[in-house]
Amino acid sequence: MSETGAISIDKIRGFLESKGVKPSFQRLKILEYLLKHRNHPSVDTIFQALGDDIPTLSKTTVYNTLSLFTQKGIVASLTVVNNELRYDVLKDPHAHFQCAICSRLYDIPLKNDLFQTDFIEDHQVEDIQVTFKGVCKNCLKSRNVLDKTS
Amino acid sequence: MSETGAISIDKIRGFLESKGVKPSFQRLKILEYLLKHRNHPSVDTIFQALGDDIPTLSKTTVYNTLSLFTQKGIVASLTVVNNELRYDVLKDPHAHFQCAICSRLYDIPLKNDLFQTDFIEDHQVEDIQVTFKGVCKNCLKSRNVLDKTS
DNA sequence: GTATCTGCAAAACATTTGCAATTCT
DNA sequence: AGAATTGCAAATGTTTTGCAGATAC
């Protein structure tokens, strides 16, 4: 497993405090999880994953914490997959690619300057979400295998 | 009310048949509604609106029909607003602008050629959704009024 | 007459809300 | 003790499923 975002609990605590959020154990663990797993987890995924560390954890707390984080600009809830909220730690603006087959979400860097606009058609733009849908490289590979064998 | 897409029932019937969908009364009415109201209605909106024409209509049928249409590539379900599915008749690729205040959805034409790509990072792209979020011109106006009076 | 389509009722989910118990200082 | 946080249980809202009745060819 990739441990890309291995950040110390102390740094996370400091970060939360700097954002005006009291760093409770639950909040620390949830943010740590989000930083470690950059695959846009759902509330349920987070809840399941933290169950081992925090046996008394309630799903309500996960909901509460994520909406607090959203308010404070720490995470963003994004384009819904299968009617459930997915969360993303805020970082450089990027697009998402969602596979129609395995429904995995990938991050796509956005180099294009289309997204520098502050106004479109008199509307004031504050956020941009770009989602590509299609078949991801993994599923393309499996599909090719099938094509060959059939 | 704008009646932009006034298309005859016969044309709609022919279109459905060409897509391999049997043109039942319910299906005709639902597609007619989608063509006439290009404001990304929710299942409930469609259900309410057609209640007059089809008193026996069931919400299940609206769900069934829309997922059939989605399968057949006639409509696309899109980025969820307030956790409900919204539907769009397929037409030229375009972006959406969602107002954070009144939560209205606007269509934004996409002229940029960023979206001609068939592949990004080895993924095969079949659909692109671009959603801008912010404050729409109407709400900007009201906000300005408030600013002046306060 | 058989396939398909429709629609009611119930079930399955995700999310929110009310409130009591817990924790922190 | 007082304020904030947590978590259970119930409520809400959307979507799905099972199945019986209606409809179409």
Interface contact B129-A126, CB threshold 8 A = no
Residues A41, A46, A48: CA angle, nearest 5 degrees = 125
Give the other-Cβ count within 10 Å of B69's Cβ.
Answer: 23
Long-range contacts formed by A11-17: CB under 8 A, 24+ apart: A16/A74
Do the beta carbons of residue A71 and residue A78 sit within 8 Å? no
Distance of alpha carbon B6 from alpha carbon B32, whole angstroms? 8
Long-range contacts formed by A60-68: CB under 8 A, 24+ apart: A61/A26, A62/A30, A65/A26, A65/A27, A65/A30, A66/A30, A68/A21, A68/A27
For each of chain B's 150 residues, which pLDDT tens digit applies?
445 556 889 999 999 999 999 999 999 999 999 999 888 899 999 999 998 889 999 999 999 999 999 888 888 887 666 677 778 776 666 777 877 667 677 877 766 555 556 677 777 777 777 787 777 787 777 655 544 443
Distance of alpha carbon B59 from alpha carbon B41, whole angstroms? 14
Distance of alpha carbon B129 from alpha carbon B144, whole angstroms? 31
Write out the DSSP string of A75-130: EEEEEEETTEEEEEE--S-EEEEEETTT--EEEEE---GGGG-SEETTEEEEEEEE
Q: Which residues pair with A130 in a beta bridge?
A: B130
pLDDT at A147: 46
- For the segment 94-133 of chain B, residues whose CB is within 7 A of strand C: none
Interface contact B130-A129, CB threshold 8 A = yes
pLDDT at A5 over 60: no
Q: What is the mean pLDDT of chain B?
A: 79
In whole angstroms, C6 C1' to B26 CA is 9
Is residue B126 less than 8 Å (CB to CB) from chain A? Answer: yes
* Residue recorded with tokens 């109407």: B138
pLDDT digits (tens, 9 = 90+) for A74-98: 888 876 667 778 787 766 667 778 7
Q: Which residues of B9-28 are buried (b: 16+ CB within 10 A; e: fewer)?
A: eeebeebbeeeebebeebbb
pLDDT at A1: 47
pTM of the full predicted structure? 0.71
- Which residues in B lie closer than 8 A to residue A114 (C-beta atoms)? 112, 114
pLDDT at A60 over 90: yes
pLDDT digits (tens, 9 = 90+) for B15-33: 999 999 999 999 999 999 9
pLDDT digits (tens, 9 = 90+) for A13-37: 999 999 999 999 999 999 999 999 8
- For the segment 21-40 of chain A, residues whose CB is within 7 A of strand D: 21-22, 24-27
Interface contact A140-B129, CB threshold 8 A = no
The full set of domains in chain B, from first to last, is 1-91 (1.10.10.10), 92-150 (3.30.1490.190)
